[in-house]
Structure 1
Amino acid sequence: MLSTRPDILPPDFLTELSKLQSEAPQVPAHVIRSLIEQELGATPEELFSTFSDVPLASASIGQAHAATLHDGTAVVVKVRRPGVVAQVQEDLEILQNLAHQAGRNWAAVADYNLESIATRFAATLRAELDYLQEGANAERFAKNFANDPSIHIPRIFWPTTTSRVLTIERIHGLKINDAEVLAMPAGDRNRLADLAAKAAVKMIFEDGFFHADPHPGNLFVESTSRIGLIDFGMVGEVGNELRGHLGNLLLAFSFDDPDRIARALLELAVNRPTSDRNHLRQDVLHFMEQYQGRQLGQIEISPLIRQILAILRNHHLQLPSEMAMLTKMIFMTEGMGARLNPDFNLGTVIKSYASKLAFKRAIPRNLLRNLSQWGLDAADLGANLPDKVRRLLDLLDDGVEVHLRSEELVPLVARAERIGNRLVAGMIVAAFVRGIGELTAADRERLQTWQNALVAGGAGVVAALGGYLAWTARRSAGGNR
């Protein structure tokens, strides 16, 4: 990760650290050949039309060799280093023990949730050692980017793939940090940075499945409008709930609203300490003063994330463990973009997503899906309310006993159902108003084309709600008589 951060380390350090991406000490050719024969039951000459003993790359976990299938397809054969599983296992045990001791004895890291982060990292790295899992990850990425010609995901050849050997389509191109790429015209470099950033944002917010190690050695420039992606061992997942919380945070920044940002941060946290919300709001307000008058697309994301993390730590709020790998991926993407284009800003790409998110949430199909879920929740509440009230009263310490006859439950359930119906109706209007607000904050220019339709629709929804409430109120009064 540090090898992609020119804003943190000087060039000499970056050069040395980048060697860990593809220039680790080589495994001798006879060892590689022996491993292939053990795994696949035949020699490289029998399995492939051609096989090069000179490695294309030698990274920390595996070594890659060029080969050709008997049908003429150019492939890369990755072979896991001998002994690397035991070495990684030992290192992970040390790391997890240190995280455990630090979490118990070092107050300064109490709010980092180190044990959970170390456990998740260990699980991710162990999965990276299994080439069968990497092959499955590659096919999942290929499916997600099937309609995007700008991102090339190589094909996996399963007959010559095991947990220790992976045969994958060869990608021809320049590494994204090669001198030839960095010498390209500024317009071409800007386009490549945007392609990589848009792919990263899509992985996080649309697919919920992201490449967690996008260092320059894993990205190849096939043309100025196409990037090839390799090495799918280290991946991360973002569940629907976490994606929803991240989306709320993005929209909160689009609104430039401290209260909404504070609420989004509390939703994002996995713990709920007795934190002073007003104090949190004041810290957010002070933090936002630094970005006054600047839109999300004009803000550097990495410093922004670091400041948010500091605020969360000050209020003892812990992020989901998935955020550690996600944050790493964002930092690496922004660092790579800055290497290609000194003026690159990941915030511009993320702002574009915030606009799409607002429109996506406002379309009728998604509104109805959310409202249907809220309606089911409200109906469930109404149906179970009598039982929940009885349980609550039974738990009181004053010894009060409540006896209900079945005929007494009928009006109570009917009233609860009416309340649920009104809640759902109110949610429809609230969702409509919220959708308009999010559209306005996210993209005011596009909103102008929808203005007349939204006003007409809003008036219709409000009129319908007013009529419904009047009808239910009259019906309720008649029932009471």
Structure 2
Amino acid sequence: MATPDRLVVALEELGPTFIKLGQLLSTRPDILPRQYITALARLQDDAPPVATDDVRTILEQELGASPDVVFSTFVDTPLASASIGQAHAATLHDGTSVVVKVRRPGVVAQVQEDLEILQNLAHQASRNWAALDDYNVEAVVSTFAATLRAELDYLAEGRNAERFARNFSHATGIHIPKIYWSTTTSRVLTMERIYGQRIDDKQVTNLPLADRDRLATTAATAAAKMIFEDGFFHADPHPGNLFVEATGRIGLIDFGMAGEVDEQLRKQLGKLLLAFSRNDPDRISRALLGLSVNRTATDRGRLRQDVARFMQQYQGRNLGEIRIAPLITEILTILRTHHIQLPSGIAMLTKMVIMTEGMGVGLNPGFNLGEVLNPTPGGWL
């Protein structure tokens, strides 16, 4: 196998922490060459089911009674099983359909040990390998560790869900499930069950084009709102986390991985989008340097030349006519060439934007995220 493929196999064998690290790195062309990005994008967070007796033991320990007592019904066969936890269908005593997420036994200790190893490796590498000076590897691993630790705590996920629910309380096209706190702990999460089809199911992708375009626009507009209005975004909007309900609403699930965009970063991103919308290499270069946390001097003239050469392919086209994912990938590649660091937290934001556009194109090949993000009067900026 080629080296990138061997890396994928190694990460899968190492388990959940390293699978998630690989998924994060698959969105960082500013750190890794294209062949590694392509290989890492294949990583899937699937895992064999937890034994039924273990699930029931955890529920009894956390909720104080057997799931057959706590819930009106509880289905032992999981709806889904991933590296951190698995989901089960259940019914509350008032008849409400819910999903109960149960954290895998032993996963916290395993993840904590893995993160300690990663942080030690990052520290040693940064001290002893000069080639890493431009990549702030310790910050990347630190941000990843904080995100993954938060994902282990279902109380934090429940609070994230309620924050999203408040932010989208007036959005008719987005449905955030309710959290049931009386049967929620750090190891167990009970939420309203979302009924519908995955957004990439054939029943959805075979809908009339107008319906598919509406769904893509709804999801993309929600993403833009999270970034530019709320400063709080869902960091894992893959198709398995978006369901199209019978009413046409999009139900959003899985809130363990969320990111924040502070006001200064929102302003810098706005300047960058505005520069792209005007196809202005000087402004783009300045905006990229404004985002940078680089510790070394940058040849601004050469950066401007590389950006101008790159932007020639978009000459005469506005942002609404440009695919965002390839644009981000190429810009991050230029940043890697110039050893320019971006804030460590921008990796999740990049991942979210790329996933959102991929979802939109899957629904409508003519969809363009740039049309939603385009900084026009009355828009997001």
Q: Same fold (TM over 0.5)?
A: yes
Higher mean alpha-carbon deviation, 329-338 vs 140-149, is at 329-338
Shift of 1:357: 4.7
Higher mean alpha-carbon deviation, 208-217 vs 334-343, is at 334-343
Which residue does 2:168 correspond to in 1? Answer: 145
Task: Provide the C-alpha distance between the structure 1 equivalents of 2:351 and 2:314, rounded to a whole number of angstroms.
Answer: 23
Look up the equivalent residue of 1:285 and give its one-letter code. A
Task: Provide the C-alpha distance between the structure 2 equivalents of 1:270 and 1:108, rounded to a whole number of angstroms.
Answer: 17
Question: Which 5+ residue runs of structure 1 have no aligned equivalent?
Answer: 361-481
Q: Is the 8 A contact 1:215 1:332 kept in 2?
A: yes
Higher mean alpha-carbon deviation, 113-122 vs 339-348, is at 339-348
Q: Is the 8 A contact 1:266 1:272 kept in 2?
A: no
Which residue among 193, 200, 203 is the counterpart of 2:216?
193
Q: TM-score scaled by structure 1?
A: 0.68
Look up the equivalent residue of 2:98 and give its one-letter code. V
Q: TM-score scaled by structure 2?
A: 0.85
Task: Provide the C-alpha distance between the structure 2 equivalents of 1:73 and 1:66, rounded to a whole number of angstroms.
Answer: 11
For 1:348, what is the secondary structure of its paired residue?
helix
Task: Provide the C-alpha distance between the structure 2 equivalents of 1:223 and 1:295, rounded to a whole number of angstroms.
Answer: 36
Task: Provide the C-alpha distance between the structure 2 equivalents of 1:158 and 1:316, rounded to a whole number of angstroms.
Answer: 47
Question: Which 5+ residue runs of structure 2 have no aligned equivalent?
Answer: 1-22, 28-33
For 1:77, what is the secondary structure of its paired residue?
strand
% identical aligned pairs: 68
Task: Provide the C-alpha distance between the structure 1 equivalents of 2:131 and 2:330, rounded to a whole number of angstroms.
Answer: 17
What is the aligned length? 349
Equivalent positions of 1:246-285 (< 5 A) are 246-271=269-294, 273-285=296-308
Which residue among 200, 203, 212 is the counterpart of 2:226?
203
Higher mean alpha-carbon deviation, 26-35 vs 263-272, is at 263-272
Shift of 1:50: 1.3
Which structure is richer in relative contact order (CA contacts within 8 A, separation 6 or more)?
Answer: 2
Q: Is the 8 A contact 2:134 2:296 kept in 1?
A: no
Deviations for 1:363-396, whole angstroms, at most 9, x for unmatched residues? Answer: xxxxxxxxxxxxxxxxxxxxxxxxxxxxxxxxxx
CA RMSD of aligned residues (A): 2.5
Which residue among 116, 122, 134 is the counterpart of 1:99?
122
Which residue does 2:74 correspond to in 1? Answer: 51
Which residue does 2:378 correspond to in 1? Answer: 356
Shift of 1:354: 4.6
Which residue does 2:17 correspond to in 1? Answer: none
Query: Does 1:306 find its partner at 2:329?
Result: yes
User: CA, structure 1 residues 341+91, in 2 after alignment: closer, same or farther (shift >3 Å)?
Assistant: farther
Task: Provide the C-alpha distance between the structure 1 equivalents of 2:90 and 2:197, rounded to a whole number of angstroms.
Answer: 19
Query: Does 1:244 find its partner at 2:267?
Result: yes
Look up the equivalent residue of 1:150 and give its one-letter code. G
Q: Is the 8 A contact 1:191 1:225 kept in 2?
A: no
Query: Does 1:64 find its partner at 2:87?
Result: yes
Task: Provide the C-alpha distance between the structure 1 equivalents of 2:330 and 2:165, rounded to a whole number of angstroms.
Answer: 35
Task: Provide the C-alpha distance between the structure 2 equivalents of 1:248 and 1:336, rounded to a whole number of angstroms.
Answer: 26
Shift of 1:141: 0.2
Which residue among 140, 150, 171 is the counterpart of 1:117?
140
Query: Does 1:168 find its partner at 2:191?
Result: yes
Task: Provide the C-alpha distance between the structure 1 equivalents of 2:322 and 2:272, rounded to a whole number of angstroms.
Answer: 15
Structure (1 or 2) with the larger CA radius of gyration: 1
For 1:24, what is the secondary structure of its paired residue?
coil
Q: Is the 8 A contact 2:157 2:256 kept in 1?
A: yes
Q: Compare the two structures and name the one with the higher helix fraction.
A: 1
